[in-house]
Amino acid sequence: MTVSLHSPLPSPLPSDLLSGPPSDPGAPSRLIGDDTDADADGLSSVWPRSARAGADGDVSVGGVSLAEAADRFGTPVYVLDEQEVRERCRACRAAFPEADVVYAAKAFLCRAVARWVMEEGLGLDVCSAGELTLAVTTGFPPERIVLHGNAKSPEDLRTALRLGVGRIVVESVSEIARLAAATPAGSRRQVMVRVVPGVAAGGHAKVRTGTDDQKFGLSIADGSAQHAVARILDQPHLEFVGLHCHIGSQIDSVKPYVAAVRRMVGLMARIRDQHGVALPQLNIGGGHAIAYRPGEAALDVGALADRVHAELADGCARARLPVPRLTLEPGRAIVGPAGIAIYHVLAVKRTGERTFVAVDGGMSDNPRPALYGVRYAPRLIGRLSSAPPRTVTVVGRHCEAGDVLADEVALPGDVRPGDLLAVPAAGAYHLSMASGYNLVGRPPVVAVSDGIARVLVRRESLDDMSRRDVGL
């Protein structure tokens, strides 16, 4: 389904991810760049690069009016800037030209996103038979897919073997035996071992995965990783090609990655000394931070590339190891800044000293604030307001006190039912983690590019949900 939305705002200019705003001082709106903080109109680097603010209070993304998109497709609705996704893919590839860049599908996956990242030369990182099947049936080459998962089901492994994924990341000793038994005679499957390097990093305790106190990977400290390596090397149907680590999410500093690479090289040297195997691959995971609010830090992928390459080259030279081919797995950093969630205001309620602005979505389409306390920067769109700002809490429609989308944020003091709120940096871990709570139905996803909007994922209807209920 393709719909042309003719916005009165200027069309976006194609640009490289690192280019600046347009130089025309007479332009009636503003092109958003990654190097800006909030300015007088409230737009900032948390918006896609194509975002423009208009004199009527509206915002366009990809040349499409967000207010018009809300009117056409209903709310809640997720708008995804195709060019922003593609440019971020290109920026990662440019920073790591000799590496395998694989998109972490768990951030958000649909057929169109799989096609975009494939066309931009990225591989894909999947965590289930469902993600894998969707990608392959879309035309994604299975040899460019990596299968993850701390507890892969028999169906996950059977599907991976049947479709011929490029690499499988092993996370437990029991998985090694199951994988070896399931691999057809006369074939070999490339595997990596996910290692816990003992590096703490990440924006919240629940997304720090590089230490021994969580469910992922195999520890260097207690010898579990080394034991797994020995078991894999004893399996004739498994080809041990490298090590993997993923130390956390929302990491805005290069230092933890450098520390992880140092420890991984040390383990590679011990494997060489003990087993005579020089591993050809090293996967350093993803977890690159993005800014959700003006002024927040995002990971500098260029600085990451410089420091990681230097550490890897120096460490391998000291250990007399060949430099392995790198793999990295950006997900949020690719799709997160490209997404905008749009809601209608349903009610404004003042209780004591607090003002609650209730919208027609909530934790069923964005559970992250409830899970991690994430804070966003919603913006009134579709009309101008001269009212002084008021501190409010934007809440959802669900029957949970924790259904809060944006706590203690500034919105115009005259915000009222019927208004539209747009939440930028909404492309990752919203719909991929969405639920059917209160049988509300998950919102649609609409791609925008060059002034054209098209539905990628339709709205989930009550009929969709009712068909699954077969109890009568």
Separation between Cα atoms, residue 91 and residue 128, nearest integer Å = 27
Calculate ∠ Cα 307-313-318, nearest 5°.
125
Report the relative pairing of strands 339-351 and 77-81 from DSSP bridges.
antiparallel
Indicate if 127 belongs to the active site: no
Question: Is residue 350 a contact partner of residue 296, using CB atoms and an 8 Å limit?
Answer: no
Q: Which residues pair with 281 in a beta bridge?
A: 242, 325
Separation between Cα atoms, residue 463 and residue 275, nearest integer Å = 58
Active-site choice (92, 245, 316, 399): 399
Question: Is residue 126 a contact partner of residue 136, using CB atoms and an 8 Å limit?
Answer: no
Active site positions, annotated? 399
